[in-house]
Structure 1
Amino acid sequence: MEAPGPLSAKYEGSFAYYTVKDRMPQILTKVIDTVHRNKHKFLEAHGEEGIEAEKKALSFFSKLRNEMQTNKPILPLSDQLPDTQIWNQYLDYQRTLLSDGDEPSWFRSPWLYVECYLYRRIQEGLFLSPPISDFDVFREVKNESFFQSQQAMFALCTHLQELKGRMNSLSKDKVRDEIYKLVQVSLWGNKCDLSISGGQNNSQKTSVLASLEDFKAFILVDDMTSVWNILSKNRDGNMESRTRVDFVLDNAGFELVTDLVLADAMLSLNLATEVHFHGKVMPWYVSDTTKHDFDWTLKQCLAVNHKWMSKCGETWKENLKKGRWVYHEHLFWTLPHEYCTMAEVAPDLYTELQKSDLVLFKGDLNYRKLAGDRRWDFTVPFSQALRSFHPAPLCSIRTLKADIQVGLPEGVGERLTASETDWLTTGKYGVIQFSPVV
């Protein structure tokens, strides 16, 4: 994989400064606190070597926080992980965006880049502190969020099992209504984002199902008809044909369970024959799903004392075993690159996505990388904002938590800005936004 050449559109630097000042130091402070609180575990597991590793990691993170808060230059990575060279090449690329010869710094670099860079530097600090290099500084808050959301999960799993119990009697229109309902649950499950809340509790404590009708007014773009047209082909056509759906995952916890329920329903209702999941290779944006999170979630569902949730766990484990579900990891998802560079930077991943009939991109970070985190006009078509990224028909399922949104009808963005200055960042609004292969 290689860093891309210069891109034509320009970033706004002021937004990066505002957000760095507010959210990122808070996250890094929580990382420091988490490492310190686990000192006894490091001692038990590794003896004095574990204590020395904890001190080394704390020193690294304290220095990193100072670099961030005082607008120091962005430094090359030094850990020699598989993606280190790619990151350092990307830093060279960032230098080409500055016309005054200065070094890229925390306040003078694109927000998407510095935010990704923060999470990658956190991994660097741990990797350079053996034997605690594999410690996930976000696992505690991810697990806590999962357990605090269990009542909502119970309700959702119960709904799924009841749906599967009567699926043979459902008309085509009813199947469409049911899958649309679960897509909406997956959409609003995206509110549970620990990177936005700074690692504070952001669990889903009540069932989303009962509120869907009320929430419909807050879906700014609803392209469910286009999604349904793809999914229904398998149900209407030759049952020997294969329909593949890919989920590019976002948050672990409640949102991941909503995605698994949706994927299960797609298979059960003959809307898909195989589902592929794409997760992160390292802890990322506090609550993003890793392979460990994915496997841990299935184990928790299996072990829970709830009839229908444990039934879901059994089914999902069997789906993986029989290849109806496939889990993928790829370094590209934790690089700073926009997705329009994927064919060049990670051609193997782009080729893999081209095998899909429908790719569902979950969440805010995926949306920012799809559209490049640029200040597009609100009415710019979604397919245009994707630029060269068209591996397969795709749909973004996202609640708005960053200052970017495209594909809105004329005047909608301006009207919302006039009435709610923070409408782009609160998670109150959502989109189910589709783009065909262009």
Structure 2
Amino acid sequence: MMAADQTGLGVPPSLSAKVVGSFAYLTIRDRLPTILTKVIDTIHRNKNKFFEEYGEEGIQAEKQTISLLSKLRNELQTDKPVLELTDGLQDTESWNRYLQRQQRLRGDEEAVSWFKSAWLYMECYMYRRIQEALWLNPPMSDFDVFNEAKTQSFFESQQAVMTMCTYLEGVNKNVEKLSENQLFEQFNKLLQVSLWGNKCDLSISAGQGNSQKSSPIDSLNSLQSFILVDDSNMVWSTLNSAKRPGQSGKSSADRVDIVLDNAGFELVTDLILADFLVSSGLARQIHFHGKSFPWFVSDVTANDFQWTIRQTVAANHKWMSMSGVQWQNYVKEGVWCYHDHPFWTQPHEFCDMAADAPDLYSTLQEADLVLLKGDLNYRKLTGDRDWDHTIGFNTALRGFGPAPLCSLRTLKANIQVGLQPGQGEKLTSQDPNWMTSGKYAVIQFSSPKSE
């Protein structure tokens, strides 16, 4: 395991823990090469497409990109030193500074290498190097090597999407008649649907199919006992305490930000929750935050966000199509806004954000509530450290608190904080893989006011 303070920010010992490293070797030797091999195969299978669109230039780009990716695969399998990026893009300097920071922490004794570095850093670095290989070989710069997997995941989840859009229409039709308790009940259901949508993660399955087949609403009661921390009451209270009178006379929170995770069914569940927040008057505006390039196989990019709404509009299903039209209108009217920022596709922990991406931190400070989806966001929130399970969520955030925030996460990585004494030990005795199976989940809240 690595030294406790990987950031170089001088985190006090009482607020530090070792970076999770026990699974780094296994992950790099097994899952990451599998993902890279699939990327290489995808590019090769599209060889004819590149030739049809770009002629010989496309064929040369395909060969050169595969050559760079094969070299990358060899580097990670043989524990080569981590190399600086050379593509000269907006985030290149920041990535190279991060590498230099890691090297300074090690001293001159050994180079930063694949097997001897923090798991989170190496995973992020691999995806960035994939993009470098593409960007160095135009006209392939904009090719999404993960698009096929994301598209397949969306279409395989069609029945569940139709079910959810039908359910949403029924809720929205009667939303004005709902009592406060009924409104909370619907909010809680759709928050949990968004939570369990996070099970559909293609980076964990190395790109293998991972879609939603059944109705998530029908599964909520049976899944309730697998939510290890449920702070949904605090999320609800935050939304209600942030309400301000609007022009229509209705009171709403001004803004909820959702830091997205996976495309496909999970993104649909996020859009459905966002629709409900607006239609119920719980929020006036939703700001979505996604990735600026394809990332961790299935993470949402601007193209995925727009494509998903277009596909929903075009669906041969009344309520699915009507949902899509409503979402399109929200975007056109500015009720929904999509953003990306280089920070989301960098290896930094979120406690670094105020210093390394002050513009993004300021943007999040404008929100009344920030919902952060998924496992990678949780790892970055907590620094991917081997915290004791009973350490408080606020403590593990190490000062990150631009606004009240809530992590919606199914557990797929070896980190979890904020549990009751003995809870982690009991889970380990019952199910040794409880932290990595995706079977368990948390709705975990923190507010700057609770520090």
Do the aligned residues in 2 keep the contact of 1:77 with 1:84 (CA within 8 Å)? yes
- Supply the AA of the counterpart residue of 2:317: H
CA apart distance, 1:389: 0.5
Using the TM superposition, name which of 321-330 and 110-119 deviates more.
321-330
Q: Tell whether 2:26 aligns with 1:15.
A: no
CA apart distance, 1:246: 0.3
Q: Tell whether 2:276 aligns with 1:268.
A: no
CA apart distance, 1:12: 4.4
Q: Tell whether 2:145 aligns with 1:137.
A: yes
CA distance in structure 2 between the partners assigned to 1:389 and 1:245 by the alignment: 17
Q: Specify the alignment match of 2:382 in structure 1.
A: 371
Q: Tell whether 2:307 aligns with 1:296.
A: yes
1:29 pairs with one of 37, 41, 52:
37
Do the aligned residues in 2 keep the contact of 1:235 with 1:270 (CA within 8 Å)? no
Q: Tell whether 2:353 aligns with 1:342.
A: yes
**Aligned 1:95-106 pairs, distance under 5 A:** 95-99=103-107, 101-106=109-114
CA distance in structure 1 between the partners assigned to 2:251 and 2:213 by the alignment: 41
Q: Tell whether 2:108 aligns with 1:111.
A: no
Q: Specify the alignment match of 2:320 in structure 1.
A: 309
**Aligned 1:390-401 pairs, distance under 5 A:** 390-401=401-412
CA apart distance, 1:286: 0.3
- Supply the AA of the counterpart residue of 2:391: V
- Supply the AA of the counterpart residue of 1:401: K
- Supply the AA of the counterpart residue of 1:279: G
- Supply the AA of the counterpart residue of 1:382: F
**Aligned 1:321-360 pairs, distance under 5 A:** 321-360=332-371
Q: Specify the alignment match of 1:46 in structure 2.
A: 54
Q: Tell whether 2:77 aligns with 1:69.
A: yes
CA apart distance, 1:192: 0.2
Question: Structure 1's 235 and 100: CA in aligned 2 closer, same or farther, altered over 3 A?
Answer: closer
| Gaps in structure 2 of 5+ consecutive residues | 1-5
CA distance in structure 2 between the partners assigned to 1:288 and 1:224 by the alignment: 24
CA distance in structure 2 between the partners assigned to 1:268 and 1:302 by the alignment: 18
- Supply the AA of the counterpart residue of 2:217: L
- Supply the AA of the counterpart residue of 1:15: F
Do the aligned residues in 2 keep the contact of 1:6 with 1:93 (CA within 8 Å)? no
Q: Tell whether 2:433 aligns with 1:425.
A: no
SS of 1:380's partner is coil
Question: Structure 1's 209 and 35: CA in aligned 2 closer, same or farther, altered over 3 A?
Answer: same
Q: Tell whether 2:66 aligns with 1:58.
A: yes
Question: Structure 1's 299 and 158: CA in aligned 2 closer, same or farther, altered over 3 A?
Answer: same
CA distance in structure 2 between the partners assigned to 1:199 and 1:126 by the alignment: 19
**Aligned 1:155-194 pairs, distance under 5 A:** 155-194=163-202
SS of 1:433's partner is strand
TM-score (norm 1): 0.97
- Supply the AA of the counterpart residue of 1:167: V
- Supply the AA of the counterpart residue of 1:28: L
- Supply the AA of the counterpart residue of 1:378: H
CA apart distance, 1:398: 0.3
CA apart distance, 1:14: 3.2
Q: Specify the alignment match of 2:135 in structure 1.
A: 127
SS of 1:388's partner is coil
CA apart distance, 1:409: 0.5
Q: Give a deviation string over 1:310-353, Cα, whole Å, max 9, x none.
A: 10111101111111111111110001000000000000000000
Do the aligned residues in 2 keep the contact of 1:343 with 1:350 (CA within 8 Å)? yes
Do the aligned residues in 1 keep the contact of 2:20 with 2:414 (CA within 8 Å)? no
CA distance in structure 1 between the partners assigned to 2:71 and 2:354 by the alignment: 36
- Supply the AA of the counterpart residue of 1:292: N
Identity within the alignment, %: 59
CA apart distance, 1:5: 3.7
Question: Structure 1's 403 and 163: CA in aligned 2 closer, same or farther, altered over 3 A?
Answer: same
Do the aligned residues in 2 keep the contact of 1:221 with 1:431 (CA within 8 Å)? yes
1:147 pairs with one of 149, 155, 167:
155
Count of residues in Structure 1 that have an aligned counterpart in Structure 2: 436
SS of 1:281's partner is coil
Do the aligned residues in 1 keep the contact of 2:253 with 2:282 (CA within 8 Å)? no
Q: Give a deviation string over 1:343-396, Cα, whole Å, max 9, x none.
A: 000000000000000000000000000000000000000011001101000000
SS of 2:23's partner is helix
CA distance in structure 1 between the partners assigned to 2:151 and 2:49 by the alignment: 17
2:225 pairs with one of 217, 220, 226:
217
- Supply the AA of the counterpart residue of 1:434: F
Using the TM superposition, name which of 398-407 and 228-237 deviates more.
228-237
